[in-house]
Every structure is written in C-alpha cells, then in structure tokens.
Amino acid sequence: MGITLPHGNAFHETVALLPQLERAGVSVVLAGEAYTFDAISHLAYVAARTERVELLAGILPIYTRTPALTAMSSAGLDFVSNGRFHLGLGSSGPQVVEGFHGVPYDAPLGRTREVVDICRSVWRREALVHDGIHYPVPLPADRGTGLGKPLKLIDHPVRNRIPVSIAAIGLRNVELAAEIADGWLPLFFHPGMADGVWGDSLRAGMTRRDPELGSLQTTVQVLFELGEATPERLQPAKEQLALYIGGMGARGTNFYNELACRYGFRREADQIQDRFLAGRKAEAAAAVPDELALAVNLIGTEADLAIRVKEYEAAGVSTVVLTPLNPDRGEQVAQIRRLLAVTG
C-alpha cells in the first residue's frame, strides 16, 4: 500500500503524518506532476523526512526534461534517499505538454523508449552515445555546433538500475511498458475488465521482455474512504472521472474517454463528454456510473474493500496507492490501518 502526496498546504500536513503511516504499513509515497509544483522537489523533501518508504515519481512527463536531466534527477533522488527512488515516466497529454509547456506532443512511443534507454545508460556511468531519432547524443553537427562529445555522469549512483515504471492506458503504450519497464502505472484500472482491455498488449510486450527485468510490477492509484458507498462518498470519484473522461482532451483525443468506452461505457462516456465540454460539470459527474466509480477506486465498507483488494491482486496488481478522501488526518491513518488489517 502507498499514499499519494497532495499539493498545496495539505502536502506539509501529509508529510507530518508519514512516520505514523510508515508504522501503519504504508510503504510507498507517490508524487505526481502535471502543471503543479514539480515532483522532484516534493520527493527530495520527503526523502529527508523518512527512512523506509519508497519514493515514486508518478509521473514525470517525458517532454518536459531532457532524458539526461531525468536520469540525473533520478540518480540524485536515489542518492539522497539511500536507494529508495522509483522513476515513473509518462507522456501526459497534449493539453498539458503543448498548452502549458509549449512543447510539441509527438512520437510518445519512440520518445519513451529512448528516454528509458538513455536513463539506464547514464546510471551505468557509460559515456553517453545514443543514436536515436528523437534524442541523438552527442548532437550531430547538422543540428548543433559539432563540438559535443560523449560524457558520463561524474557522480557514482547508488544503483546502476533504478526501477522505471511507465504510465500507460493506450494499447501500444501498454505493450511498450510490458516490454521495457520494471513497472506499469495504469490510471483508472478496472480489475474485472483489465485483461479484456489490455491483456493482449501485455502478453505481446512480454514476448520481447528482457528476463533480467523480472516480472512486471503493476501500481494503481485509487481514491480511498472506508464507509458505506453513499452518493456523498462517491461524489469525489465521479467528479474526478468526469474531469478526465469529459475534459482531458478534445473529442477524438481524450485517452480516458476511449478507456471508458473500452470498459463498455460508451453511451455514458459520450454523455459525460457532451455535458463537460458544454460547461455542465455537475451533470457530467452525475452521468458517471456508480459501477465504474466503485470499480476503479476503494470506497466502501471493510468487507467491500477486502473483496475489492483481492480482485486487484487477482488482476496482477502489486501496489495500490491511496488518495484518502476523509479530510481528518487522524482518521486517514486509522482508516489505512483498518484497510491493511482486513486485507492482510
């Protein structure tokens, strides 16, 4: 079990709770990054305040840093945390990459593969030579001054193989994750439908997987609250799903809308998108099926969640990262203790 670091003032409150959460059994802390404060500074702060929890960047967008800088920051976090860092990479989406960073959103598959290759070369302290389409290193004379030369990282990383997970829900991206990554980070993972949606992609990627990578570790993020799944408790989950299914991209370029359709909710996905894009956000949230909100989150009684965690395990999930909904910090710790008690 892990926990997501919130942004804003709640960040410091959550970090202050981490010693209790560690004792309760939380073993992973995840920091996201979209158009918020960056994940690196958050995780570096947490590294200084904790001793055991693993630190997961979930995720660093591949477009916003050079591959070498991603490798350097990862090695630096791994160093200050004594080998507890886990790099999560993802392509994000054109709304963030082009709308906020001003960088073209192109070739996500090819760029992801090259970023992973370069990071692993840097961590091995090899003189960096990468004959890639997107990130040739050193830069050839026709694209630069011609004065660059291969360099290797000056510092010695704690580990020459920092774990890498890839955030993916598209079929080709999931296949790539199964082929080259240590882990997979799918958002809105539906354990009952995951194999039907992604099974072929995962199996195809595994046929080309290096045995040295070991098994693919699957980490999912969920909203979490113990108690009867009342409309009030489900509302935040429905609002989040409405935002992603309805508003994370234009028509035809919304990956989350496509995922809801592949889960069998095409009519509802169309309704959510129509209402959200028309500015009727409350109506969009109301169109999110209870079945979907419950399946991709952990909201319910202890008995409900004991069953649902087993469903996640049966679907191949190795880590569940919680975003607590209860605003009371003490109650958050108590609920996580109870969840761990009933799930073993």
pLDDT digits (tens, 9 = 90+) for 98-117: 999 999 999 999 999 999 99
What is the structure's pLDDT at 66?
98
What is the structure's pLDDT at 93?
86
Q: Check: CB of residue 164 under 8 Å from CB of residue 59.
A: no
β-bridge partners, 298: 224
Distance, C-alpha 302 to centroid of its chain? 26
Q: Phi-psi region for residue 315, left (φ > 0), alpha (ψ -120 to 50) or beta?
A: alpha
- Going by C-alpha positions, the residue among 132, 219, 220, 153 that lies closest to residue 182 is 219
Q: Which residues contact 95 (CB under 8 A, 6 or more apart)?
A: 248, 249
- Going by C-alpha positions, the residue among 158, 168, 140 that lies closest to residue 81 is 158
Residue 139, both tokens: 């830069």
What is the structure's pLDDT at 8?
83
What is the structure's pLDDT at 341?
93
Dist CA 269 CA 257 (whole Å): 6
Reported CATH class of domain 2-224+298-343: alpha beta
What is the structure's pLDDT at 173?
97
- Which segments in the chain show pLDDT lower than 70? none
What is the structure's pLDDT at 225?
98
What is the structure's pLDDT at 127?
98
Residue 111, both tokens: 């760029």
Domain ranges for the chain: 2-224+298-343, 228-297
- Parallel/antiparallel/unpaired status of strands 217-226 and 183-185: parallel
b/e sequence 319-331, b meaning 16+ C-beta within 10 Å: bbbbbbbbeeeee
The model carries a pTM of: 0.96
